[in-house]
């Protein structure tokens, strides 16, 4: 038994080997929950789970692969029986190179959509029996304020995250009868330990100026909102997309 907002709640966080997913897993552990970290990158995922210690667990997993999702579901069923929460965080993101949409290779478009949009659908579907067993489970998808900004240079990514917003709304309606809540967090530019090519120094300055709160965001600015959405404090919140970007996008 542990104390905290997520005491003893088993939460799967996909793409938790680095960046924001790793920070979400840490917050779940800090809030008394049992984080199950998944990632394609086995080395990073194992290390992230080991760093958390305690009851944290790592499972190698490809969100875009139905068989891998079925294996994850079987592991969760066998080891925990129920699943109280899922954070669909994994995405092709930091590795993306910006370019005009007419120059995006078809294979890259397909991979981004397969991971970022098909992924949350596949993972949530595979884990549904375990989520149902919890009685009051919460799913948190990860969108992006880049959708609302219409940011140029990575149209496949924008399309995938726009899809995540729609998927969140419809999943919330389809699962509401079963008491399962589905929401999305929509971060603005958030600077993790991982360098990336989707924000130039000039764009970084411009977006900071455009925010109501004129400072860069860190993973710590996101984790409390995810913890809230996973918790009973958000028991009557579903189908929502929560913008966490210092007022970059006002909805
Ligand atoms: N950092 C930001 O500024 C920002 C802003 C808005 C939204 N987001 C979203 O937040 C999430 C995390 O962002 P981040 O900055 O930590 O990204 P990141 O690229 O640093 O980390 C993504 C993680 O997902 C994993 N992954 C990739 N493909 C996978 C697959 N097929 N199966 C399982 N794991 C896979 C990677 O190995 C990596 O550990 C993403 O959904 C991203 O789109 C980030």
Tens digit of each residue's pLDDT (9 = 90 or more) over 79-119: 999 999 999 999 999 999 999 999 999 999 999 999 999 99
Q: How far is the CA of 95 from the centre of ligand 1 (A)?
A: 9
The predicted-structure confidence for 205-222, as pLDDT tens digits, reads as follows: 999 999 999 999 999 999
Q: Decide if 161 is inside a domain.
A: yes
pLDDT of 188 above 80: yes
pLDDT band at 26 (very low <50, low <70, confident <90, very high): very high
CA distance to 40, 102, 111, 215, per residue, from 106 (Å): 22, 10, 9, 36
The predicted-structure confidence for 157-182, as pLDDT tens digits, reads as follows: 999 999 999 999 999 999 999 999 99
Residue whose Cα lies nearest atom 12 of ligand 1: it is 20
Q: Decide if 181 is inside a domain.
A: yes
Angle, alpha carbons 37-40-41 (nearest 5°) = 85
pLDDT band at 251 (very low <50, low <70, confident <90, very high): confident
- Find out whether the beta carbon of 112 lies less than 6 Å from any atom of ligand 1: no
The closest-lying atom of ligand 1 relative to the alpha carbon of residue 219 is 1
- Find out whether the beta carbon of 120 lies less than 6 Å from any atom of ligand 1: no
Q: Name the average pLDDT for the chain.
A: 97
Provide the residue range defining the domain that includes 65: 10-244
pLDDT of 198 above 90: no
Contact between 118 and 43 (Cβ < 8 Å)? no
Closest CA to 88 of 39, 153, 55, 49: 39
| CATH number for the domain harbouring residue 205 | 3.40.50.720
How high is the pLDDT of residue 93?
A: 97
Q: Decide if 2 is inside a domain.
A: no
- Find out whether the beta carbon of 183 lies less than 6 Å from any atom of ligand 1: no
pLDDT of 1 above 80: no
How high is the pLDDT of residue 133?
A: 97
Residue whose Cα lies nearest atom 25 of ligand 1: it is 15
pLDDT band at 183 (very low <50, low <70, confident <90, very high): very high
Q: Decide if 3 is inside a domain.
A: no
Question: What are the start-end ranges of the H helices in the chain?
Answer: 19-30, 42-52, 66-79, 106-113, 119-134, 146-149, 155-175, 201-210, 220-230
pLDDT band at 22 (very low <50, low <70, confident <90, very high): very high
Contact between 126 and 71 (Cβ < 8 Å)? no
Task: Identify the active-site residue in 24, 154, 157, 191.
Answer: 157
Q: How many domains does the chain have?
A: 1
- Find out whether the beta carbon of 142 lies less than 6 Å from any atom of ligand 1: yes
- Find out whether the beta carbon of 62 lies less than 6 Å from any atom of ligand 1: yes
Q: Decide if 69 is inside a domain.
A: yes
How high is the pLDDT of residue 211?
A: 98
Mean pLDDT of 26-50: 98
Q: Pull the structure tokens for residue 121.
A: 């659908």
Cα atoms in the Cβ-side hemisphere of radius 13 Å centred on 81: 4
What is the spatial distance between Cα 59 and Cα 46, in angstroms, rounded to a whole number? 8
Q: Decide if 95 is inside a domain.
A: yes
Work out the percent of the chain whose per-residue pLDDT is above 70: 100
Residue 157 annotated as catalytic = yes
pLDDT of 34 above 90: yes
The separation between CA 194 and the C-alpha centre of its own chain, rounded to angstroms, equals 16
pTM of the prediction? 0.98
pLDDT of 246 above 90: yes
The closest-lying atom of ligand 1 relative to the alpha carbon of residue 20 is 16
């Amino acid at each position: 038994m542990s104390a905290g907002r997520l005491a003893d709640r088993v939460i799967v966080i996909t793409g938790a080997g680095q960046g924001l997913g790793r920070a979400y897993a840490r917050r779940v552990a800090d809030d008394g929950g049992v984080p199950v970290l998944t990632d394609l990158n086995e080395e990073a995922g194992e290390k992230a789970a080991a760093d958390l210690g305690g009851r944290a667990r790592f499972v190698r997993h490809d969100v875009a692969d139905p068989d891998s999702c079925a294996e994850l579901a079987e592991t969760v069923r066998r080891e925990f029986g129920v699943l109280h929460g899922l954070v669909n965080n994994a995405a092709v993101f930091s590795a993306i190179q910006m370019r005009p949409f007419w120059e995006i290779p078809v294979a890259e478009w397909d991979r981004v959509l397969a991971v970022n949009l098909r992924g949350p659908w596949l993972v949530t579907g595979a884990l549904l029996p375990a989520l149902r067993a919890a009685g009051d489970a919460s799913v948190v998808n990860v969108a992006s304020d880049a959708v609302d900004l219409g940011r140029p240079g990575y149209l496949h990514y924008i399309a995938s995250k726009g899809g995540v917003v729609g998927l969140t709304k419809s999943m919330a309606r389809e699962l509401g009868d079963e008491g399962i809540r589905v929401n999305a967090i929509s971060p603005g530019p958030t600077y993790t330990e991982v360098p990336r090519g989707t924000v130039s120094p000039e764009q970084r300055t411009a977006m900071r100026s455009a925010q109501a709160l004129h400072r860069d965001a860190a993973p710590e600015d996101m984790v409390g909102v995810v913890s809230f959405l996973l918790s009973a404090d958000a028991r009557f919140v579903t189908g929502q997309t929560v913008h966490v970007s210092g007022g970059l996008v006002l909805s």
